[in-house]
């Protein structure tokens, strides 16, 4: 599939999606969202792609947010709501992809860009990255899931402060508040992110998928229901060939060879 505003390629079992609108600091316009959605479908259908890594092109930005000219051109509240729903639906596809998704945050991750990172499973940032939600300065609020995913990740009070002030935080602060999981030197970001992706690509794919579902769906439920869900997903894992292989490999003191079945 040929893309205009993103690139998608594979390195071994790792698919790498790069948002590629450097002149607009990789801002998310309509076409970019369409292409991200198509790419997620492509990666989901590719049995050889075990992990997805997302990043931004150039050294300056991961993604600097929603495309501001498109926001200025909105003609009605309905247009605004539709734009918001579309972004939410695309980031839901990212969150629900049945493979781990790692965000390699190589620069500005603002507004919609930070919301993209929030929909990923793991966030690694370059030490030069800056993150934040400047929507308030545009007379707006985040519309791609940010008001909901941010407090779930960093807590209500820290989230409100970020949303109300619109202030950017540096990578070290993002790590301290739990907005990112790891900070690395800018020059080694992709290497570190690929190393983690390689490690995950060797884990049992079915168990990874079930672990992701257990966390994502369980968090939206009360503990009793979430544990019933966990037991069901655990049962599915027990029915897999990978469970036989993983437990046998341990007892036979050898490396497991998982098949995703």
Q: How far is the CB of 160 from ligand CAA (least distance, A)?
A: 16
Which CA distances in Å does 65 have to 12, 222, 252? 30, 33, 51
66, 90, 94, 125: residue in contact with ligand CAA (rule CB under 6 A): 66
Catalytic member of 135, 191, 230, 252: 135
d(CA 222, CA 225): 6
Closest CA to 64 of 158, 161, 133: 133
Q: Give me the 26-55 binding string for ligand CAA, x by CB under 6 A, dash otherwise.
A: -x----------------------------
Retrieve residue 92's tokens: 């839901």
19, 24, 117, 119: residue in contact with ligand CAA (rule CB under 6 A): 24
110 binds ligand CAA (CB under 6 A): yes
Q: Known catalytic residue: 89?
A: no
Q: Known catalytic residue: 230?
A: no
Identify residues 134-173 at the interface with ligand CAA (CB under 6 A): 134-135, 138, 140, 142-144, 146
> What does the H/E/C string look like for 36-94?
HHHHHHHHHHCCCCCEEEEEECCCCEEECCECHHHHHCCCCHHHHHHHHHHHHHHHHHH
**Torsion over CA: 238, 241, 243, 247 (sign):** positive
Closest CA to 146 of 213, 86, 70, 91: 91
Q: How far is the CB of 19 from ligand CAA (least distance, A)?
A: 12
Q: Give me the 74-93 binding string for ligand CAA, x by CB under 6 A, dash otherwise.
A: -------------x------
Q: Which residues bind ligand CAA (CB under 6 A)?
A: 24-25, 27, 64-69, 87, 108, 110-112, 115, 134-135, 138, 140, 142-144, 146
Catalytic site positions: 115, 135
């Amino acid at each position: 599939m040929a893309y205009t505003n993103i690139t998608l390629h594979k390195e071994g079992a790792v698919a790498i999606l790069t948002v590629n609108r450097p002149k607009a600091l990789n801002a998310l316009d309509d076409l970019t969202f369409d292409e991200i959605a198509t790419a997620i479908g492509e990666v989901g259908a590719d049995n050889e792609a075990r992990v997805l890594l997302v990043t931004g092109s150039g050294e300056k930005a991961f993604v600097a947010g929603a495309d501001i000219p498109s926001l200025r051109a909105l003609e009605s509240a309905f247009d605004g709501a539709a734009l918001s729903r579309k972004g939410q639906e695309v980031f839901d596809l990212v969150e629900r992809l049945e493979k781990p998704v790692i965000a390699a945050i190589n620069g500005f991750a603002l507004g919609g860009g930070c919301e993209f990172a929030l929909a990923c499973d793991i966030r690694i940032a370059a030490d030069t990255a800056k993150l934040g939600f400047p929507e308030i300065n545009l007379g707006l609020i985040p519309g791609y899931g940010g008001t909901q995913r941010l407090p779930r990740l960093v807590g209500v009070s820290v989230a409100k402060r970020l949303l109300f002030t619109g202030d950017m935080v540096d990578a070290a602060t993002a790590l301290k508040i739990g907005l990112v999981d790891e900070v690395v030197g800018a020059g080694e970001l992709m290497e570190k992110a690929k190393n983690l992706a390689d490690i995950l690509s060797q884990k049992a794919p079915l168990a990874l998928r079930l672990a992701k579902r257990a966390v994502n769906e369980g968090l939206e439920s009360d503990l009793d229901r979430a544990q019933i869900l966990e037991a069901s997903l655990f049962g599915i894992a027990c029915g897999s060939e990978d469970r036989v292989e993983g437990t046998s490999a341990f007892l036979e003191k050898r490396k497991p060879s998982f098949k995703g079945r």
